[in-house]
Structure 1
Amino acid sequence: MSTVTATLARPRPRTLAVVRRTAWSAGALFWSAFAVLEAVNHGWLAGTLVLTFFVLPDLTFLVALDEAPRMAKGQLPPRAVPYYNAMHRALVPLALMALYTVGPITAPALFAALCGWLAHISYDRAFGYGLRTKEGFQRG
């Protein structure tokens, strides 16, 4: 096999990053639209929870606010990293959605809140913000 065909067969890392961020953007738009639809259909409580859960993952920065001035630019205080990473894993709200759909709970506002949470995570990934290392810096 020549090097030309080997190069053509394997996508470049930059191309994969663009595809990945485009997919996250599509997901962000989907979850945002779904959250708005749920809020409109189920009233002010659902709308309030959507907004709350849309903002909630970034409130994990407050866990170690006192350490922030001593951190390097772009670094999250290490004490806040586990909370930040837990709130920014898409699997958590997706698993809660799956439990909601098969469980006995019927609270549409809760489902709307999970849509808002997934929208937040999707926007973060679309804009290039991912999970943090234990030292508090962006991964990859």
Structure 2
Amino acid sequence: MTSSEPGSGAAERPVAWPARLAWAALGAFLLFWAVFEAVKHGGWTIPMAVLGVLVPDLSFLLGAGSGPREPGRMPARMVGVYNLLHRPLIPVVALVALSFAPTANTTIAAPFTFALAWLGHICVDRVLGYGLRAPDGRPR
């Protein structure tokens, strides 16, 4: 299968434009908010914002050295971790929990910014058509 054939990549799946527009608006808002928090608080919030953007794709390290595979399909051993890190529920729960945490605002700034950036990454992936994967590594 070549990359020009249908179904070879996640970005080729049709997603309704209103859904993509909503994901894009939410993703832009969250990423701007993460940058705002990082600049406002400085210190650990800056590397945590960068880490929040990168963490969801660290699951790709599990697929390193797995040999050739068909385009658009990831190794089965990385699907579980990839899907876990690309579910919006985890960073949303973290954001809600941190918002109501009975601590000083500066103590939760870094983990809160991490969760904002993580959720922003998930939104951008949805805009680009990259969603969760089936157990065999194909896009759902």
Q: What's the TM-score bracket when you normalise by the shorter of the two chains?
A: 0.7 to 0.9
5+ residue gaps, structure 2, are 1-13
Deviations 1:56-113 (Å, cap 9, x if unpaired)? 111101113121x232111111110010000000111001111112233542111011
Partner of 1:4: none
- In structure 2, the partner of 1:94 is 92
Flag the structure with higher helix content. 1
- Separation in 2 of the partners of 1:66 and 1:82? 18
Q: Does 1:130 align with 2:131?
A: yes
Q: Does 1:104 align with 2:102?
A: yes
Once the two structures are overlaid, the 10-residue window that deviates more, 96-105 or 48-57, is 96-105
How far apart, CA to CA, are the structure 2 residues paired with 1:64 and 1:36?
A: 30
- Partners of 1:104 and 1:132 in 2: CA distance: 37
Aligned residues: 124
Alpha-carbon distance in structure 2 between the residues aligned to 1:125 and 1:45: 28
Rg (Cα) greater in structure = 1
Q: Percent identity?
A: 36
The CA RMSD over aligned residues, in Å, is: 1.4
- TM-score w.r.t. the length of structure 1 is 0.83
Secondary structure at the aligned position of 1:51 is classed as helix
Deviations 1:2-59 (A, max 9, x none): xxxxxxxxxxxx7x71110110000111001100110011103101110111011111
1:133 deviation in Å?
0.5
In structure 2, what is the Cα distance between the partners aligned to 1:82 and 1:103? 30
- Range with bigger deviation, 82-91 or 99-108: 99-108
The equivalent residue for 1:35 is: 34
Question: Runs of 5+ in structure 1 lacking a partner?
Answer: 1-13
Deviations 1:104-123 (A, max 9, x none): 35421110111110110000
| SS of 2:79 mapped into structure 1 | helix
Q: Residues 65 and 39 from structure 1, CA distance in 2 versus in 1: closer, same or farther, beyond 3 angstroms?
A: same
